[in-house]
Amino acid sequence: MNTVAFHSLGCKVNSYETDIMQQKFTENGFRVVPFTQKADVYVINTCTVTNIADRKSRQMLHRAKAMNPDAIVIATGCYVQTDTEGVLKDASVDIAIGNNEKSRIIEILQEYASKQKKTSSILDIMHTSEYESMMLTETAERTRAYIKIQDGCNQFCTYCLIPFARGPVRSRAKEEILEEIKALAIKGYNEFVLTGIHVSSYGVTRPGHLEENRLAELLEDINAMPEVHRIRLSSLEPRVMTEEFVQRISALKKLCPHFHLSLQSGCNETLKRMNRHYTCEEFLAGVSLLRKYFDDPAITTDVIVGFPGETDEEFDKSLKFAETVGFYEMHIFKYSKRKGTVAEKMPGQVSGVIKDARSDKMEALEHEMSVAFRKRHIGKSYSILFEEEKTIDGKKYYIGHTPEYIKVATASDADLSDKIETRTLTGFLTDDILLAE
């Protein structure tokens, strides 16, 4: 065995963990090849956030075995954790590894090689209290590194299986996070995105209690590192936006003013059925605090339309609330039944036709708000982290992002990749890219 191929589905946490597993294989003499090529070992890091994610996970497992029937196919991740029985019955799978066991992948592979029979290592994730220690030394991206700071979720939203796939909240030691960031920064990574399953719970000591001060302390320590140029946060709970927390993070010059606050619905009745732990009023209060301490920050969110029981009136409330907030971007999802969740059996399931219509309305509003946000930033100068070269209408540009995560393009004969430079935004190059000169 000397070649290995990887395929990662789902979130940035999965991508981070796939990078870790890839790193472990290369440290043990394996050569990484594209997933579309024949390999001795295939590793599929699965997702279970929707029924479609489950199906895609199975498809990739079967595709791997079809590409090389003699290969060792390793299934790992959330789908493995939530449907262990189904995975173990799947003839395409040779090794099944649950969450919190990925760091042992080489050891488990060696065990399989010695026995030559189906092997599994799947913990009871619901009774796990230890954070699985991993240390990343390189990522697939060259400019931006995602740093996992916690795992697990204690929220139990009625539409979601992730707490059962990832277990309770566990936080990574701050010293280990800082060590990983410093090593990557020295290698030239310019931006660090703190990610996890429920980032707001970093440092949590008991269920239902957010530790915004522990998160603020971590951000302050990263901001103080001379090697670091930019810090970005992934999805946050609205309730973490207290006056003290927002005031503290507003003093951090390296923190990008781009905040993804997960909304899901702009209607309190719908939020209650979802078992979200805040109201629209609390959400708006958090946004107001961000706008009090930051100059026109980018506020992005997720919205579900067509949740069970959502009436026309409730949807209209959600639409109007989104307009009131004035988001930079919204990621809009049509509710789909997730087997094993409370919402699956709720009355008032919404038809596909209605969900499509509501999604179209929310998408139209999203586009309008996104254009308005970008327009407000034209004429202003920003530091831009350039990431890649791209040809648009026959002309070469370097594509990058402002701290607010506005995508911009600059025409340049010089190589700007991985560089941070100040440019003035002058207008729209395309519908979603601003020209920077």
Residues 247-303: tens digit of each pLDDT: 999 999 999 999 999 999 999 999 999 999 999 999 999 999 999 999 999 999 999
Structure tokens at 401: 């992002």
How many whole angstroms separate alpha carbon 98 and alpha carbon 17?
12
Find the mean pLDDT for residues 369-390.
96
pLDDT at 65: 95
Per-residue pLDDT at 211: 60
What are 62-74's pLDDT values in tens digits?
A: 999 999 999 999 9
Look at the domain 3-123 and name its fold. Rossmann fold (3.40.50)
Residue 208 confidence class, pLDDT cut points 50, 70, 90 = low
Helices (H) and strands (E) in the chain, counts: 13, 18
Average pLDDT, the chain: 93
Least confidently predicted of 125-134, 140-149, 273-282, 400-409: 125-134
Rounded CA-CA distance 114/101 in Å is: 19
**Residue 350: predicted pLDDT:** 97
Q: Treating both helix axes as pointing N-terminal to C-terminal, what angle do 243-250 and 212-223 enclose, rounded to 10 degrees? A: 0
- Read off the pLDDT of each residue in 414-426 and give the average, rounded to a whole number: 94
Give residue 206's pLDDT band: very low, low, confident or very high (50, 70, 90): low
Q: What is the pLDDT of residue 363?
A: 98
Mean pLDDT of 71-97: 94
pLDDT at 117: 78
pLDDT score at 259: 98
The reported pLDDT for the residue numbered 125 is 74
pLDDT at 127 over 90: no
pLDDT in the model for residue 177? 96
Residue 99 pairs in a beta bridge with none
**pLDDT of res. 123:** 73
Share of the chain above pLDDT 90, in %: 86
Q: Region 180-205: what's the mean pLDDT? A: 92
pLDDT > 70: percent of the chain: 98
Band of pLDDT at residue 429, cut at 50, 70 and 90: very high
The predicted pLDDT at position 58 comes to: 96
pLDDT band at 179 (very low <50, low <70, confident <90, very high): very high
Class of domain 144-377: alpha beta
Q: Which residue has the higher pLDDT, 405 or 114?
A: 405
Whether 237 contacts 210, CB under 8 Å: yes
- Helix 352-377 and helix 312-325, axial crossing angle in degrees, nearest 10: 10
Per-residue pLDDT at 142:
77
What is the tens place of the pLDDT at every residue in 294-327? 999 999 999 999 999 999 999 999 999 999 999 9
Q: Which strands, in side-by-side order, build the sheet including 298-305?
A: 258-260, 298-305, 329-334
Q: How far is CA 409 from CA 190, 368, 435, in A?
A: 18, 21, 5
Mean pLDDT, residues 379-400 taken together: 94
Query: Above 70 in pLDDT, residue 212?
Result: no
Q: Pick from 277, 208, 292: which is nearest to 245 by CA?
A: 292
Neighbour tally for 89: CB within 10 Å:
10
Backbone angles phi, psi at 175, to 5 degrees: -60, -35
- The helix/strand/coil state of 272 is helix
Instruction: Looking at 150-238, list the stretches that DSSP marks H as alpha helix, in order from N- to C-terminal side.
Output: 162-166, 174-186, 212-223
Q: Cα separation of 335 and 303, whole Å? A: 10
**Whether the predicted pLDDT of 121 surpasses 70:** yes
Measured in degrees and rounded to the nearest 5, phi and psi for residue 273 equal -65, -30
How many Å is the Cα radius of gyration of the chain?
22
pLDDT band at 172 (very low <50, low <70, confident <90, very high): very high
Average pLDDT, integer, range 224-228: 96
Distance CA 178, CA 173 (A): 9
Smallest Cα–Cα separation from 184: which of 142, 218, 150? 142
Q: Mean pLDDT, to the nearest integer, of 157-176?
A: 94
